[in-house]
């Protein structure tokens, strides 16, 4: 092949950007387009990370450096499966990489979970992160709420629910989110973890951030704070587990404050079995669990009921199926072998690859997607000489197609305009940034339309 290898990556979040970065560092000349259905890049970092996480938000700087490289082009506001299909991409590119992440809440099959005021964590995260497709208003009219889950997303949701709205003014939260949080009547947030403290999936940093909130008391309930042989072994051999358990033990031994406006309760060995209520959520029934010695748990047949008015389930994310691509609905992933997408017969679909959460499921931290991307891109490059060549490889040909179809795509230069606009909105109020929420406004600003 005398021209550069043409590669399109669908999804401009961390997984897609890491894949592009690895491609540019290879010895193979490449031209890369990153397509995203959002008008702005960064995916999970912009729309899935709590706004009071400056350390994680700092990853944006690294992603920015990659997207700023020659040979990489960002095309936003392009919806795969609607604006372009797989055949379109294969006609314009030698290889297609899907890095669309996980955007839905995993279901929790218990009675009452679909009652009004019972939500998936992603719904709430998208609201407070200003996702264009999220609801603009959020009612926080109950005094007690339940969060189901024992991972970092559950901690994020619990922390934001308990936080005083004005403490988030230093972040990029949109004005409608600040108004919603200011109207909150919440006094108590209850987080329920099915297993014990040594089995929790919190990272130490995320856990400690709970205790950095003025006006919020962290209460670790001693009932359920148990360790078995497997827990003790994990504490001895895993520094992360050791730190998490030590932090929780320290909190459990503290004297109560009795003077805070809000309380965040951590309940271990409590498995929600029913969301109760008639017209809306009125309670959460949990079964008391016990450790079995090997890190697993079993039910005791004892139950407790908590009078809560809202429930948020944070039991995992799930990827959405992609048009024209096989999908495993049970695992929520695209069937693949080392990132090579497989058809229904288990054969590699030539020139089609996947990386990130839609490749392996929504587990691990953001940085773990680098390893995914390395495996996928190494396999893509190994296949380079046998890839079906694009019929219309000119970088302009895909732009002509989008324009013919009336797609108002955004660009990297357009993101620079939107980025500057959001920072200017924040500067006027002494804040770092105020995020633009409406998709139409994001597109208008990015495309410099009046």
pLDDT at 361 exceeding the cut of 90: no
pLDDT at 303 exceeding the cut of 90: yes
pLDDT at 366 exceeding the cut of 80: no
Q: What is the pLDDT of residues 220-260, one digit of tens each?
A: 999 999 999 999 999 999 999 999 999 999 999 998 887 89
Burial 177-194 (b: 16+ CB within 10 A, else e): bbebbeebebebbbbbbb
Query: Which band of pLDDT confidence, cut at 50, 70 and 90, is reported for residue 213?
Result: confident
Res 334: pLDDT: 97
Work out the mean pLDDT of the chain and round it to a whole number: 94
Is residue 179, in this structure, part of any structural domain at all? yes
387 and 263, same domain (yes or no)? no
Which helix (H) or strand (E) covers residue 90, if one does?
helix 86-92
Q: Which domain holds residue 171?
A: 104-317
Res 214: pLDDT: 87
143 and 263, same domain (yes or no)? yes
Which one, of 257, 318, 312, lies nearest residue 281 by Cα? 312
Rounded Cα distance between 51 and 86, Å, is: 34
What backbone phi and psi angles, to 5 degrees, belong to 246? -65, -45
Is residue 264, in this structure, part of any structural domain at all? yes
pLDDT at 120 exceeding the cut of 70: yes
Query: Which band of pLDDT confidence, cut at 50, 70 and 90, is reported for residue 51?
Result: confident
Query: Which band of pLDDT confidence, cut at 50, 70 and 90, is reported for residue 430?
Result: confident
Is residue 359, in this structure, part of any structural domain at all? yes
Is residue 269, in this structure, part of any structural domain at all? yes
325 and 194, same domain (yes or no)? no
Res 435: pLDDT: 93
Res 371: pLDDT: 86
Is residue 442, in this structure, part of any structural domain at all? no
Beta-carbon count within 10 A of 139 CB: 13
Is residue 441, in this structure, part of any structural domain at all? no
More confident residue, 213 or 297: 297
What percentage of the chain carries pLDDT values higher than 70?
A: 98
Query: Which band of pLDDT confidence, cut at 50, 70 and 90, is reported for residue 58?
Result: confident
98 and 178, same domain (yes or no)? no
95 and 15, same domain (yes or no)? yes
Residues in the chain: 450
Which one, of 2, 7, 43, 12, lies nearest residue 26 by Cα? 7
Q: Which two tokens stand for residue 13?
A: 């979040």
Evaluate whether 150 touches 199 at the Cβ level (below 8 Å).
yes
Q: What is the pLDDT of residues 306-355, one digit of tens each?
A: 999 999 999 999 999 999 999 999 889 999 999 999 999 999 999 999 99
191 and 284, same domain (yes or no)? yes
Is residue 426, in this structure, part of any structural domain at all? no
Asked which of 288, 317, 346 is the last residue of a domain, the reply is: 317
117 and 70, same domain (yes or no)? no
88 and 98, same domain (yes or no)? yes
CATH of residue 260: 3.50.50.60
Res 256: pLDDT: 86
Query: Which band of pLDDT confidence, cut at 50, 70 and 90, is reported for residue 49?
Result: confident
Q: What is the pLDDT of residues 93-103, one digit of tens each?
A: 999 999 999 99
pLDDT at 365 exceeding the cut of 80: no
What backbone phi and psi angles, to 5 degrees, belong to 281? -65, 130
Q: What is the pLDDT of residues 431-450, one digit of tens each?
A: 888 999 999 999 999 999 75
194 and 210, same domain (yes or no)? yes
Query: Which band of pLDDT confidence, cut at 50, 70 and 90, is reported for residue 266?
Result: very high
Is residue 444, in this structure, part of any structural domain at all? no
Which helix (H) or strand (E) covers residue 432, if one does?
none
108 and 238, same domain (yes or no)? yes
Res 57: pLDDT: 67
Evaluate whether 198 touches 245 at the Cβ level (below 8 Å).
yes
90 and 130, same domain (yes or no)? no
Domain count, the chain: 2
CATH of residue 366: 3.40.50.720
313 and 327, same domain (yes or no)? no
């Amino acid at each position: 092949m005398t021209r550069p290898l043409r590669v399109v990556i669908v999804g401009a979040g961390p997984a897609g950007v890491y894949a592009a970065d690895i491609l540019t560092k290879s010895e193979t000349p490449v031209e890369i387009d990153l397509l995203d259905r959002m008008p702005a890049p960064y995916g999970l970092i912009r729309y899935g990370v709590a706004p009071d996480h400056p350390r994680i938000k700092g990853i944006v700087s690294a992603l920015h450096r990659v997207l700023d490289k020659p040979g990489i082009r960002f095309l936003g506001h392009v919806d795969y499966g609607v604006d372009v299909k797989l055949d379109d991409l294969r006609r314009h590119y030698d290889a297609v990489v899907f890095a669309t992440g996980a955007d839905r809440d995993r279901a929790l099959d218990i009675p009452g979970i679909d009652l009004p005021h019972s939500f998936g964590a992603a719904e709430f995260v998208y609201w407070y992160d200003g996702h264009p497709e999220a609801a603009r208003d959020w009612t926080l009219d109950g005094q007690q709420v339940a969060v189901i889950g024992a991972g970092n997303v559950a901690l994020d949701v619990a922390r934001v629910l308990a936080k005083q709205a004005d403490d988030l003014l230093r972040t990029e939260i949109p004005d409608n989110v600040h108004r919603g949080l200011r109207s909150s009547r919440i006094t108590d947030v209850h987080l329920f973890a099915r297993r014990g403290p040594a089995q929790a999936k919190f990272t130490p940093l995320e856990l400690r951030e709970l205790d950095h909130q003025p006006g919020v008391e962290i209460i670790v309930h001693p009932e359920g704070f148990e360790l078995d042989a497997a827990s003790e072994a994990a504490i001895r051999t895993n520094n992360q587990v050791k730190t998490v358990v030590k932090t929780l033990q320290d909190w459990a031994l503290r004297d109560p404050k009795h003077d805070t406006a809000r309380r965040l309760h951590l309940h271990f060995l409590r498995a929600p079995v029913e969301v109760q209520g008639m017209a809306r959520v009125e309670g959460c029934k949990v079964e008391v669990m016990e450790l079995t010695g090997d890190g697993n748990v079993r039910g005791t047949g004892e139950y407790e009921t908590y009078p809560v008015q809202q429930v948020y389930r944070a039991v995992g994310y799930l990827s959405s199926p992609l048009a024209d691509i096989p999908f495993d609905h049970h695992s929520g992933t695209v069937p693949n072998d080392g990132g090579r997408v497989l058809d229904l017969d288990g054969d590699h679909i030539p020139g089609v690859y996947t990386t990130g959460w839609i490749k392996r499921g929504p587990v691990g931290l953001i940085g773990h997607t680098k390893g995914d991307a390395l495996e996928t891109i190494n396999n893509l490059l190994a296949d380079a000489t046998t890839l079906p060549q694009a019929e219309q490889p000119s970088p302009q040909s895909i732009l002509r197609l989008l324009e013919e179809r009336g797609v108002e795509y955004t660009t990297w230069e357009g993101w620079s305009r939107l980025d500057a606009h959001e920072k200017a909105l924040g500067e006027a109020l002494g804040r770092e940034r105020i995020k633009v929420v409406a998709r139409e406004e994001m597109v208008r600003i990015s495309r410099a339309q009046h």
